[in-house]
Amino acid sequence: MSDGPTYGFDTLQIHAGARPDPATGARQTPIYQTTAYVFRDADHAAALFNLQEVGFIYSRLTNPTVAVLQERVATLEGGVGAVCCSSGHAAQIMALFPLMGPGCNVVASTRLYGGTVTQFSQTIKRFGWSATFVDTDDLDAVKAAVDENTRAIFCESIANPGGYVTDIRALADVADAAGIPLIVDNTSATPYLCRPIEHGATLVVHSTTKYLTGNGTVTGGCIVDSGKFDWSANDKFPSLSEPEQAYHGLKFHETFGPLAFTFHGIAIGLRDLGMTMNPQAAHYTLMGIETLSLRMERHIENAQKIAAWLEADDRVEYVTYAGLPSSPYYDRVKSQYKKGAGALFTFAVKGGYDACVKLVNALEIFSHVANLGDTRSLIIHSASTTHRQLSPEQQEAAGAGPGVVRVSIGIEDADDLIADLDQALAKATA
């Protein structure tokens, strides 16, 4: 698309980054199922490898189908560039990779997906990194957790599993004062509900597996760069501000300016970590994004109706949906998530752990899977699955206690979903 007019979200989700194929005129972005690309000549090849010219070298680094997806997600998020990779977990490591070093730490929200908590509390120790977990609603605790070795603050916009919404602007102010980036996982909200960069985030990560693809077919991840952070303001980020020996002393921030993080993610991150998104996955995700706004509207409409019904049911102890007036996050939704609170939340079943297991087993329309953001309605008992590796204290902090189930509300008929929950609750609490 040409520069000039400011297009609306519904137009950009279809057209951003895409152009008719120059060779065939194909209107849909082709799947460029190729490993390598022919260079024009030796000078062209040298320029590409030396980062003096932008182009395609090898599909571990860049691929035309994936490039369209990167541009589309960056456009929808309001960023200057993006790097797609193999999964949401890969995106988290890719986001931290240029920032961290042995002895460095990240301050992370306690309300994160269980796999992320495990990755941050256990796996990153192998790199010499560490994480400090805090309640990000307690800004004083966040400030106290930041020390001279902290290189980022990490949160989710709409937290998985509880559906709690984060005050991104407040966290961004803390990060700015400390001279470090704020990284926001925007998987559950999507850029349709929230654009964290507009609230001060430096980097945005996605599991594109979820709402962006929307149909449970492929895995993928993405890191979006705001282009607004000064990586050379201090000596905390030498990977971006200091000479890179692999490129003859090139300084990424000095050379690429606002696109420094994006270029580093491709030229170093994908080159050396190899967490590559395959072109077929990019193709499926591009098709999914074309209907993102339409799906999110239906997801939210259904979630609102079902959450209200659950809250009024005597067999349910509580519902965490932030779109309900009873939620402590209701006003925050109105100010920062104006199109809705998403479609992910938890509810507690009277009868605890055993009742939750019976409920999950009795449902007929809801699918019992370890995923979210599908067109289909999904349910999982987090304490025995996605958050199983966490301690009881960590489970409670994340909103995934033993008596709680997580639902991802799909786009089916809401009355059918309510009827399914009704019959399952009857069996679970009999």
Domain of residue 147, CATH code = 3.40.640.10
Residue 382's pLDDT is: 82
Say whether both 278 and 311 belong to one domain: no
Q: Which two tokens stand for residue 98?
A: 């240029």
What is the Cα 406 distance to its own chain's centre?
Answer: 18
Residue 85's pLDDT is: 98
How far apart CA 124 and CA 328 sit, in angstroms, is: 33
CA distances from 95 to 103, 153, 161, 270, 283 (A): 17, 11, 22, 11, 23
Domain presence at residue 143: yes
Say whether both 200 and 338 belong to one domain: no
pLDDT tens digits along 407-425:
999 999 999 999 999 999 9
Residue 286's pLDDT is: 98
Q: Can you list the alpha helix ranges (DSSP code H) found in 42-150?
A: 42-49, 64-77, 88-96, 114-121, 139-145
**What single letter denotes the amino acid at residue 105?**
N
Say whether both 34 and 182 belong to one domain: yes
Say whether both 147 and 280 belong to one domain: yes
Domain presence at residue 319: yes
Say whether both 219 and 330 belong to one domain: no
Domain presence at residue 2: no
How far apart CA 342 and CA 351 sit, in angstroms, is: 27
Between helix 292-311 and helix 414-428 the angle, nearest 10°, is: 40
Among residues 239, 261, 288, the one where a domain terminates is 288
Domain presence at residue 146: yes
> In this structure, are residues 223 and 94 in contact, taking their beta carbons and an 8 Å threshold?
yes
CATH number at residue 324: 3.90.1150.10
Residue 5's pLDDT is: 63
Residue 369's pLDDT is: 93
Q: Which two tokens stand for residue 304?
A: 């609102």
> In this structure, are residues 160 and 113 in contact, taking their beta carbons and an 8 Å threshold?
yes
CA distances from 109 to 164, 168, 175, 217 (A): 11, 12, 13, 29
pLDDT tens digits along 156-212:
999 998 899 999 999 999 999 999 999 999 999 999 999 999 999 999 999 999 999
Q: Which two tokens stand for residue 90?
A: 């890969």
How far apart CA 56 and CA 76 sit, in angstroms, is: 24
How far apart CA 383 and CA 362 sit, in angstroms, is: 18
Domain presence at residue 69: yes
Say whether both 169 and 212 belong to one domain: yes
Say whether both 359 and 239 belong to one domain: no
Residue 3's pLDDT is: 52
Domain presence at residue 182: yes
Element (H, E) at 397: helix 392-398
Q: Which two tokens stand for residue 164?
A: 């709690």
Q: Which letter does DSSP use for residue 187 in this model?
A: T
Say whether both 416 and 269 belong to one domain: no
CB count, 10 Å around CB of 388? Answer: 13
Residues contacting residue 427 through CB under 8 Å, at least 6 positions apart: 358, 359, 362
Look up the domain containing 271 and give its range: 9-288
Say whether both 248 and 119 belong to one domain: yes
pLDDT tens digits along 324-353:
999 999 999 998 898 999 999 999 999 999
Among residues 288, 311, 337, the one where a domain terminates is 288
Domain presence at residue 395: yes
The tally of domains found in the chain comes to 2
Residue 114's pLDDT is: 85
Among residues 242, 268, 288, the one where a domain terminates is 288
Domain presence at residue 214: yes
Report the percentage of the chain scoring pLDDT > 70.
Answer: 98
> In this structure, are residues 349 and 405 in contact, taking their beta carbons and an 8 Å threshold?
yes
Angle in degrees, CA 88, 78, 205, rounded to 5 = 15
How far apart CA 79 and CA 31 sit, in angstroms, is: 24
Enumerate the β-bridge partners of residue 183. 154, 203
Q: Which two tokens stand for residue 237?
A: 């980020």
Say whether both 220 and 95 belong to one domain: yes
Say whether both 199 and 218 belong to one domain: yes
Instruction: Tell me the DSSP string of 307-338.
Output: HHHHHT-TTEEEE--TTSTTSTTHHHHHHH-T
